[in-house]
Amino acid sequence: MGYFWTIFALVVTLAIAWRYLGSYMAAVYEGRVTYLAWLERPIYRTLGVDPDAEQSWQRYGGALIVFSGVAILFTYAIERLQGSLPLNPQHLGAVSPALSWNTAVSFVTNTNWQNYAGESTMSYFSQMAALTVQQFASAAVGIAVAVALIRGFVRKGSPTIGNFWVDLVRGVIYILVPIAFVAGIIFVGQGAVQTLAGPATIHNTLTGAKQVIPRGPVGFMETIKQLGTNGGGFFNANGGHPFEDPTGVTHFLSYFLLLSIPFALTYTFGKMIGDRRDADKKGKGGGTGGVGGGTRGMGSGTREGVAVLMAMVIIFGAWVGFASYAESRPNPAVSAAHVVKQPEGNVVGKEVRFGVLPTTLYDIASTQTSTGSVSGANDSFTPIGGFALMSGMMLGEVSPGGTGSGLYTILLFALITVFLGGLMIGRTPEYLGKKIQAREVKLAAFGVLIMPIVVLIITGIAVSLHAGRVAPGNSGPHGFSEILYAFTSQANNNGSAFAGLSGNSAFYNVMGAIAMLLGRFAIMVPVLALAGSLAAKNVVPAGLGTFKTDTPLFTGLLIGVILVVGGLTFFPAVSLGPIVEQLLHGKLF
């Protein structure tokens, strides 16, 4: 019953966030929110940016790549020099070159894959100035790309899609910092550690034993870790550490934070589309200086957002139910050891403070977004439960996906869906009044297929080379699952792992960085090109033969396309991993 009320409360709070946070984000990117203009303007002057000058998709993408490249070098330099930098009470030395490179790429790409234990590898300065800063920046970059794509649908005959620097700054100061700050106060108030005092040393006067307890600036890093769907924690145990997630309140808030922006962006999408339609009805047209104005309630544009939202919700709900059932069953490996009674299900690796089902919900929510934070040990899920974690990422992380990345990826699937619908009725497909022609279909297909191509090729390389095969801590199907999960996670910018894999080697640091870079920027660039192509088009009035994209039929077809693409692409691989591992125990559940 307690789990039911947890789900109920989560649905209610997310529904509120969807409506009001979604509307607020639309206002932020439409330029209607200006209460921090006193802070915003000096930032633009420092950057040498004209906030009124808009960019073509090429210049927008170029600015994004340059910013991300500089961010990688900045983060890498701090890690390599941390032994000479302040706020290092443990006197930790420089991080190795390969690990520094992997970590810098990981945090800049919003992956937060961690081949290290944070409390024994990174100084306080590295955790704050390098990693936490990138957790804000990478999340803002993802939202910016999603908003640029929305502008592609909104604008008519426009050569520009916005200004990257403006979108980046506004995302950080108006959305991420305020929410993370308020949530951080709650986390610290509940007991999350927030100190620069260094580790605590405990002496047992009776036995003479000494224990060093790591501490640090944990609480506020925890909130942006979840809110920005980053996932990288201060401690190696991540969300399973009581200093990061001390109470049931923070546990619930973690669910909420990591799901709130990805779900709310569907309302932002519908709101901005609806604003264009309202402007068209009033005869104002599109223009290049903004994305429509005015305020409006639940209207036609919002219905398109609801159609996309329902696809996300149905997939997410199905995976939560599937994984919860799998983990509530006895662990087959434990049963094989003749442990007959397992009344709570698979308790191995679960957070005992909260229970099997809340831990499962946390980890499913984390893998269905690009967060990758964990409350339990993913590697100790049942084989079919681990399949649920892995397959959620294999669908492209669209349910609801990461901050920004979930929305723009599911919109790529939406374009493929209307293309297939157009083939079935024999007319040029349209989506939100824009004709979807060969260029748009090719860009959408490339963006959808690049992730599975990267995952399968690099996984094939890893299992073919000695350097790749020595890393798994298990042999057989589970060892293969550990490799497949690692590159699925990195190419989806998720960051979670089956922790039996020893990833801190030159091979995995380099190959993982390649997967993360391609999984991030080889999708973002086609999305921006698609935004530019759509923005240049005029709006075509809907006709009798137009395929409606705000109906349950469209939602069902969209879900089908997502499942078919993910299922057909990865089914042979997962058959060699978690599925055959489960069947070796004699049954599927």
Read off the pLDDT of residues 428-454 as tens digits, 9 standing for 90 and up. 799 999 999 999 999 999 999 999 999
Confidence check: pLDDT of 90 > 60: yes
Q: pLDDT exceeding 90 applies to what percent of the chain?
A: 85
Task: pLDDT band for 586, please (50, 70, 90 cuts).
Answer: confident
pLDDT mean over 127-151: 98
CA nearest to 230, candidates 561, 494, 497, 502: 494
**For 174-218, how does the pLDDT look when each residue is reduced to its tens digit (9 = 90+)?**
999 999 999 999 999 999 999 999 999 999 888 888 999 999 999
CA nearest to 494, candidates 391, 347, 352, 349: 391
Domain spans of the chain, in order of start: 402-583
Task: pLDDT band for 300, please (50, 70, 90 cuts).
Answer: low
- Rounded Cα gap, residues 541 and 281, in angstroms: 12
- Rounded Cα gap, residues 326 and 346, in angstroms: 8
Q: Which residues pair with 194 in a beta bridge?
A: 217
Burial of 589 by CB count in 10 Å (0-12 exposed, 13-18 middle, 19+ buried)? Answer: middle
pLDDT mean over 540-563: 90
CA nearest to 305, candidates 18, 5, 14: 18
Task: pLDDT band for 522, please (50, 70, 90 cuts).
Answer: very high
Kind plus residue range of the DSSP H or E element containing 299: none
Confidence check: pLDDT of 358 > 90: yes
CB–CB of 589/397 below 8 Å? no
Confidence check: pLDDT of 288 > 50: no
Confidence check: pLDDT of 298 > 60: no
Residue 465 contacts by C-beta under 8 Å, 6 or more apart in sequence? 507
CB–CB of 181/221 below 8 Å? no
Residue 543 contacts by C-beta under 8 Å, 6 or more apart in sequence? none
